Structure 1
Amino acid sequence: MFSNYVKNSLACLIGIVGLSAMSVQAQSNYPTRPIKMIVPYATGGGSDILARAIGAKLQVLWGQGIAIENRPGASGNIGTEAVVHAPSDGYTLVMQNSTMVGSAAISGKLNYDPEKDLTPIMVLGLTPMSIVASESSKIKNLKDLVAYSKANPNSLNYGSCGIGSPQHILMELVKFETGVKANHIVYKGCAPAVTDVVGGQVQLAVVSANLVSQYVKTGRLQSVGISTAKRYNLMPQSLTFAEQGLKSIDDSIWYALMGPANLPPEIVKKWQTEVTKILADPAVRENLSNAGVEAYDGNPYDLGNLIKTDLAKFGKLVKSANIKAE
């Protein structure tokens, strides 16, 4: 009996070792079939721009198709949940952005844990945000905004790209720091908010800066301020908030590649290595810059730390400013 037990145990062990060896070999040959990259937002945004730029290059390098699937909804959480529940084999990834942490901070809870249920791969790019005013509002800078709010209490409206979005968080931070009073008009994405502020339906909108650069250049919108400490290359004439005395604000939307929890380190490393090479290409960097995205060479550790830091930072702001999930 003992002999049979040993034989069975040995056979089981050999089987496990064999499966493990097959798994390692599969990872070393990765990818061997098409990959799906989910963008949990609408087409045309920074996440979508980066996913398509990177995907097109990797298809050539790896000889495998990379399908970009836009799956918007619930502030990016619908598409992200699909990745959370996907196999941890590297064939389903998500191109997320900092909306994820803002949404978690405001709602207090998501159907997944951004720190535990996703494997960080790298940050790929950054985009500043801008508060813009309609041409008819005569609000041209931060000083004008504060003065208008004081003279017209409770009559100021602003549109954002959604509850918990980085743009929503930015405006609430400006309100908290300056005492500005403004009612939040929630839009399903940045594009309709831009349309309504251009048309004068709302006085202000806070959106990704790349979406309004042409309107600012032609004078159809006024840039109240840029969210980063340095000026934005597509809107060089626009003042930053720091230049206007609000030095506490230096923030960008970050775009990051992630996979399901427990993604094999070899696959994470392969993505990071190959994408870093792509982002080092001057032509790629220039194309992204012209689209409003600054290429950024990240790594898994930095991304994991960024998510942790932003969750704490936004959580503190939400509590201090009493921001509610409307």
Structure 2
Amino acid sequence: MAMDNRTGASGNIVTMEVVRARPDGYTLLLQNVSMATNDAAQGKLPYALTTDLTPLMLLSSTPHAIVAHPGAHISSIAELVDAAKAAPSQLTYASCGIGTPQHFAMKVLRQNMHIDMLHVGYKGCAPALVDVLGGQVPVAILSANLVPTYAQTGRLKALAVTTAKRYPQLPTTPSVAEQGGGNFDYDSWYALMAPGKLPTLLADKITADVLKVLDEPSVRSALAEFGIDISKGTAQELKTRIVEDSDRYLELARQNNIKAE
């Protein structure tokens, strides 16, 4: 297998390459929830989410984590709410970018908790992590797999994870829902897709082969080290997730005038 890691346009460039490829099973796409948030924040995409691509399977998922620099003296969602209400529109938080899954999740949290904060959208989670570690921003929402090392060494305070259940890599960090955040469940999922109109026999063969790989102890161990929870979701489950998330994020984007840069 040859990996072709292409970046740009929030994943739309590489996605279009797969859309244009022959549906012969030799070109596959590793996608994620950003395809749903892109659809919401960028307007109409140059491809149809579930017809120009063939959903194969959900591979894994990772929550987002809300963190604070120790100097912010914020250790929980309740303390975050108190700090935000004490200085409306002044408490700053970083996200991985405007229109990203993290941005949407924090927007919902702010609505649920009735707080107003100043958003700084970075170009990716990595630079947002660097600045919250350095104290340039007091609070951030990041991919949760980036957080455990810094939480364990005290360089960050993990306030909450955004999924309904706790994250195994941050077992003592409660979920947003546990802290009064309402029916709150947001994550980043990763999926395997192929060009549209891939023959069913080929789709079944690829899925069976991938499932065998995911069952290998070395693969499971490697993914666990990165804090990735293997899902093994079916093609239909993936298709349903894409449609539901696209609708959910589209409504949030309309309500809050969220547009990707």
Which TM-score tier does this pair reach, normalised by the shorter chain? over 0.9
Greater helix proportion: 1
| Shift of residue 163, structure 1, vs aligned partner | 2.5
SS of residue in 2 equivalent to 1:70: coil
Of 16, 19, 33, 1:84 maps to 19
Equivalent residues of 1:75, 1:163 under 8 A apart: no
* 1:304 partnered with 2:244: no
Q: TM-score, normalization: structure 1?
A: 0.76
* 1:260 partnered with 2:192: no
Of 63, 70, 85, 1:150 maps to 85
Q: Deviations over 1:23-80 (max 9, x none)?
A: xxxxxxxxxxxxxxxxxxxxxxxxxxxxxxxxxxxxxxxxxxx112221222221221
Aligned length: 261
Higher Cα Rg, which structure = 1
Equivalent residues of 2:21, 2:27 under 8 A apart: yes
SS of residue in 1 equivalent to 2:232: coil
Equivalent residues of 2:18, 2:28 under 8 A apart: yes
Q: TM-score, normalization: structure 2?
A: 0.95
| Shift of residue 113, structure 1, vs aligned partner | 1.7
Distance in 2 (alpha carbons) for counterparts of 1:93 and 1:238: 36
SS of residue in 2 equivalent to 1:69: coil
Q: CA RMSD in A?
A: 1.5
Per the alignment, residue 99 of structure 1 pairs with 34
Larger relative contact order (Cα-Cα within 8 Å, sequence gap ≥ 6): 2
SS of residue in 2 equivalent to 1:224: strand
* 1:200 partnered with 2:131: no
Equivalent residues of 2:57, 2:234 under 8 A apart: yes
Structure 1 residue identity aligned to 2:205: K
Q: Deviations over 1:271-320 (max 9, x none)?
A: 11111122233442232122110011122111111111111111222233
Q: Deviations over 1:7-31 (max 9, x none)?
A: xxxxxxxxxxxxxxxxxxxxxxxxx
Distance in 1 (alpha carbons) for counterparts of 2:47 and 2:225: 34
* 1:126 partnered with 2:84: no
Distance in 2 (alpha carbons) for counterparts of 1:322 and 1:244: 27
Matching of residues 123-272 of structure 1 within 5 Å:
123-272=58-207
Unpaired stretches in structure 2, ≥5 consecutive residues? none
Distance in 1 (alpha carbons) for counterparts of 2:254 and 2:183: 17
Q: Percent identity?
A: 45
Distance in 2 (alpha carbons) for counterparts of 1:70 and 1:134: 32
